[in-house]
Amino acid sequence: MNQTIVQFYPDATKSLIALTNALLISAAARTKKPFYLALSGGETARSLFEIWKNQYNDPKRWKNVHFFWVDERCVSSENEESNYHWAEKLFFKPVGINPNHIYRIQGEDIPYREAERYSRLVAEMLPDSNGVPQFDCTLLGIGEDEHIASIFNNDTDLLKSDDLYAVSRHPATGQRRITQTGEVILASREILIALVGERKKELLHRLVARKDQTITPATYILSHTSRATIFTEIELNSKELSFQ
């Protein structure tokens, strides 16, 4: 049985600061080597980038960090739905992150070709762990429908795919996305998950209270790793989530 550590803080901002401190401690321990970080998108990521811009804006803190993406919507980088767009606007430009350390998914290109290109890039740059490229840290959120990265309940085959990145489709909008697959997520040295805000309260309590064996992308990932930590302001009775 795998257990996921849950760290509680007084509010959402303090939760995201704690996650950032954990990330930077890991990065500082590898100052003589590149630190490969996979970023997620969404509202929580935007809040995180704002904190980085305002409180962690010395570029020296980030000098050995190389930024990749967990997933991306198949839109241009100028589109406000782009995960890269917000990272660039809220963090990379204001802080002065080295452009040579930023590796975006080109969402405007043909999705399947871009998934293949990005897979090759990641495989070439990252160290190998049992045949899978290994990120030093992966930042994740969990959707209210329990999707993780851009792996939805209609795409659960991507949890065990041999591809490194693949094309998924949002079940409600039909929007195509490029996403890490489950094996790449699970290979990461460290997985940091932010679950903050009122809308995530029911989700987190549902994950804790679940008695059935329903497999969703979130429960699959959490049940197959011992490297994940959840940062939240949502009170629970336990500081660990257990998954079989």
Q: Do 224 and 184 touch, CB atoms closer than 8 A?
A: no
Q: How far apart are the first and last CA of the chain?
A: 5
What pLDDT is attached to residue 202?
Answer: 86
What pLDDT is attached to residue 4?
Answer: 83
β-pairing, 165-169 with 176-180? antiparallel
Distance (Å, whole) CA 141 – CA 182: 14
What pLDDT is attached to residue 211?
Answer: 63
Distances in Å between the Cα of 65 and the Cα atoms of 29, 61, 228 are: 12, 9, 20
Would you call 24 exposed, middle or buried from its count of C-beta atoms within 10 A (0-12, 13-18, 19+)? middle
Distance (Å, whole) CA 81 – CA 104: 14
Give the pLDDT means over successive 10-residue stretches in the chain (244 positions): 82 96 94 93 95 96 97 97 97 97 98 98 96 97 95 95 97 95 97 92 81 82 91 76 63
Tokens of 182: 């489950």
Q: Do 160 and 132 touch, CB atoms closer than 8 A?
A: no
What pLDDT is attached to residue 242?
Answer: 67
Determine phi and psi for 114, rounding to 5 degrees.
Answer: -70, -35
Is it true that domain 2-54+62-237 has CATH number 3.40.50.300? no
Count CB-CB contacts under 10 A for residue 176.
17
